[in-house]
Amino acid sequence: MCAEFESFAQRVLNYGLSQPDANACVFQSRGPETAQVLSWAQLRQQVQARASLLLEHGLAGQPVALIFPAGNEFVIDFLACLYAGVIAVPLNLSRNAQQFSRTLEIMEDAGVTAVLTTAKTESFLQGALQELASDYQPQLWLDEQVQSAQIHVPEPVQPDELAFIQYTSGSTSRPKGVMVSHASILDNQQAIQQACQHEAGLIAGGWLPQFHDMGLIGHMMQPLYLGGCYVFMPPMNFIQRPRRWLELISDYRIHSSASPDFGYEHCVKFITAREDLSGLDLSCWKVALNGSEPVNHATMARFAEKFAPHGFDPQAFFPCYGMAETTLFVSGGAPGNGVKTRHFDSTAFAAGTLREAAQGIEVVSCGLISPAFALTIVNPDTCAPCADETIGEIWLHGPSVAQGYWKNSEQTQAGFQAQLNNEDARQWLRTGDLGFVRDGELFVTGRIKELIILRGRNIYPYDIERTCNNYPQASGGGAAVFAVERDGTTRLAAIVELSKAAFINGDHTEMALDIKGLVMDASEVTLDILCLVKPGTIPRTTSGKIRRVACKDLLPQLEALS
């Protein structure tokens, strides 16, 4: 394998020779007039120059933080790290003090000795470090203006060498550094290409953060892997004005673009009928990936209805499943099949078994399981494979699975080196996710840490959150459901964000009764504790996932205010 091995970075640099004048990256901060374009020749030259700089400073084999605003600079330096054998650690640039404290915590955990950033950002970061009065200080800062006077050719990286550390979002626990090898990158890129049926010259991208696995592996690396063009914009520009995402797709004829469920809902809610969308043409969008959060059929139906007049094909929807621990992609598609759902008897489902019904619990398929993985459904308590028609933990095995957690042998052994309670000697990744397989397709029902067992029933918070979000006065994308212990009894609690108008002017007592009634009708459970809050109250990760542990910690404060 080593003799034939071609790293991701080497593959990308080769495109700089075979198609030097074609566009490799387009970064658009606002409208088309702001676009910053990198040709393949320019990308090759700048990656080689920055890689040479890293080698001159002896950083090969060392973890190095990449803290950039959205832009081409991140693309160049990430590829330079891969090419030079430097361990890249992509991190979130945030001016929020709490978020920056988390970034600093990760820098310390990773043990980074150098920071790659822009000159403008460096002054802010150093000032923020001084304000935190931290003992930890990186030894070296290299902004985008620092160049090497000489080009150095690095030693070829080996397949099992560590390429980068992807820190998890921390939606259910403290962030952990996932160790991804060079071989796993290539294996997962091939899995994505095959599942999505992407062709050479792919145009892909959107608004997803570059430091996040979905934006990094899916949006940025996949088109570069195929010699295409990566087109992207700052995430905040999408949040402020969601039509910019759709305009980006339309203007650059993007074939493949992804978002968590809330991104599609954001477009439905905040692109108003008053906006002129006459020039919008979404017919080019053939693969609309929906992942990272539970996939909501109703959200996609609303999106399709609203944007079908502008060329969007509902069959382009591509629900998928993946995680940092598998580099990214596990299942999805096939392309052109749209959204597929199945309904199950709610009583049986609550007991962890499957019995299809005309109505009941609706679960969206996360698509076909990639042939790059062996996947089995396992009883999480006994580690024995589940019987058919049973919900269990999703276990995975394959070359895309990462090497483990950085400097955490105990959790690496527990999570990455699990063994089935049978004669299978393979080591498996325990995903912590619950689900089942039907006809080769994966259905994900929730996370083990978030599963609520209430009076002998399995309660999936996503189902109740979906009901709360459908309440007319709710904000539509902000509901968190979890269990708390009160007086020795498990209680079901919910925090629901109202629309701004409803929060200010509505009768909270009446709305609370309405929501509790809807939950009782839909799920046959009682919400014991319900806090109605203003939009933006619920803590989320940088990728938009609800942080239910943080919500539980926040609950007493919200109860005191209500």
Cis preceding linkage at 474, omega within 30 = no
Amino acid 430: pLDDT:
97
Amino acid at 480: A
Indicate the DSSP class of residue 335: T
- Are 136 and 235 in the same domain? yes
The total number of structural domains that make up the chain:
3
Amino acid at 485: E
- Are 403 and 460 in the same domain? no
Amino acid 529: pLDDT:
93
Domain boundary among 259, 275, 306: 259
Helix (H/G/I), strand (E/B), else coil: 219: helix
pTM of this prediction exceeds 0.85: yes
Work out the widest C-alpha separation in the chain, in whole angstroms: 71
CATH (domain of 131): 3.40.50.12780
- Are 148 and 229 in the same domain? yes
- Are 233 and 371 in the same domain? no
Whether 300 is covered by a domain: the verdict is no
- Are 42 and 175 in the same domain? yes
- Are 147 and 201 in the same domain? yes
Domain boundary among 259, 290, 314: 259
- Are 409 and 509 in the same domain? no
Amino acid 132: pLDDT:
67
CATH (domain of 431): 2.30.38.10
Integer CA distances (angstroms), 438 to 310, 320, 433, in order = 34, 15, 16
Quote the CA–CA distance of 55 and 148 in Å, as a whole number: 10
- Are 106 and 208 in the same domain? yes
Whether 410 is covered by a domain: the verdict is yes
Whether 204 is covered by a domain: the verdict is yes
- Are 419 and 475 in the same domain? no
- Are 352 and 469 in the same domain? no
Whether 311 is covered by a domain: the verdict is no
Whether 64 is covered by a domain: the verdict is yes
Amino acid 170: pLDDT:
58
Quote the CA–CA distance of 153 and 82 in Å, as a whole number: 13
- Are 251 and 363 in the same domain? no
Whether 315 is covered by a domain: the verdict is no
Amino acid at 346: S
Domain boundary among 430, 449, 468: 449
Q: Where are the beta strands (DSSP E) in 21-71?
A: 23-27, 36-39, 63-67
Per-residue pLDDT of the chain (562 residues; tens, 9 = 90+): 344 688 999 999 999 999 999 999 999 988 889 999 999 999 999 999 999 999 999 999 999 999 999 999 999 999 999 999 999 999 988 777 667 778 888 898 999 989 999 998 998 888 877 776 667 778 899 998 888 889 999 999 999 999 999 998 655 556 799 999 999 999 999 999 999 999 999 999 999 999 999 999 999 999 999 999 999 999 999 999 999 999 999 999 999 999 998 899 899 989 988 888 999 999 999 999 998 777 889 899 999 999 999 999 999 999 999 999 999 999 998 999 999 999 999 889 888 899 999 888 899 999 999 999 999 999 999 999 998 889 999 999 999 999 999 999 999 999 999 999 988 999 999 999 999 999 999 999 988 888 888 877 788 888 888 889 889 988 766 899 998 888 777 889 999 999 989 999 999 999 999 999 999 888 878 899 999 999 889 988 766 678 888 888 899 988 888 7
CB 172 within 8 A of CB 148: no
CB 479 within 8 A of CB 405: no
Whether 363 is covered by a domain: the verdict is yes
Provide DSSP, 288-322: EEE-SS---HHHHHHHHHHHGGGT--GGGEEEEEE
Give the sheet arrangement for strand 489-498, strand by strand.
Answer: 474-486, 489-498, 529-533
Whether 351 is covered by a domain: the verdict is yes
- Are 344 and 217 in the same domain? no
CATH (domain of 468): 3.30.300.30
* Boundaries of domain holding 92: 15-259
